[in-house]
Chains A and B, each alone.
Chain A
Amino acid sequence: AQKVTQAQTEISVVEKEDVTLDCVYETRDTTYYLFWYKQPPSGELVFLIRRNSFDEQNEISGRYSWNFQKSTSSFNFTITASQVVDSAVYFCALSEADPPGSSNTGKLIFGQGTTLQVKP
């Protein structure tokens, strides 16, 4: 069964601190995709990153970085020098690949989310 676990329910940091959000996933497929989304108080989910199961290179985008490790089924997200505007709920999600003829059509399986509060 597919499952995404975000064990940290809430994290509170002071501005400029680094913070890492954990994500552990379960899947029996060898080909799958992992995503991170941000949900600010407005409610709209904002796409942050997509990673496929064959690409274990870490990625950095400005203050954001992602560490994908297949050996531990983890896809962790680090914010460096956090800012108040980073305060939001962050979701990790899993989507399995769709081979030809499969009915698997891009359903996202979300974790429970981690609420990040960055205090000034």
Chain B
Amino acid sequence: DAGVTQSPTHLIKTRGQQVTLRCSPKSGHDTVSWYQQALGQGPQFIFQYYEEEERQRGNFPDRFSGHQFPNYSSELNVNALLLGDSALYLCASSPGVSSYNEQFFGPGTRLTVL
């Protein structure tokens, strides 16, 4: 049973560029959340997708957008990259949107903005 998978593993971009990160949830999970983890910090919630809709959003600018597909996989898009966007981006999946549900995390995508 595959867990949460993310691609790519690493990515290097320059300021002003756009990036798309991808996530496939654990089998049987329909809810995907994205987190940003800066070096030495705890993960920060970006947004959550359920039934192909953004259900909740953290304190991130509109440059961060996402999408969920009918097969529950998800993409995170970041436009006009800034140096401060350099971080580990974590995807988490869960079986539904309840706060009770354990979220399973993927290995992350390490984004470096030069």
Contact = CB atoms under 8 A, between A and B. Distances in A.
Interface of A: 4, 6, 32-33, 35, 37, 42-47, 50, 52, 91, 93, 95-98, 103-113
Contacts of A50: 100, 102
Given A44-B107, A106-B48, A106-B94, 16 more contacts: A4-B42, A35-B102, A44-B105, A45-B43, A45-B105, A46-B105, A47-B102, A52-B100, A98-B98, A98-B99, A105-B99, A106-B31, A107-B45, A107-B99, A108-B33, A113-B40
Nearest to B90: A45
B106 interface: yes
Contact of B98 (A6, A106, A110, A113): A106
A9 to B, nearest CB: 9
- What 9 A-B pairs come out closest when comparing CB atoms? A110-B42, A45-B105, A105-B97, A95-B99, A106-B99, A44-B107, A105-B55, A105-B56, A43-B108
12 contacts: A35-B102, A45-B90, A47-B103, A52-B100, A97-B100, A98-B98, A106-B100, A108-B45, A108-B103, A110-B42, A111-B42, A113-B40
Given A47-B102, A47-B104, A111-B42, A106 B90 contact: no
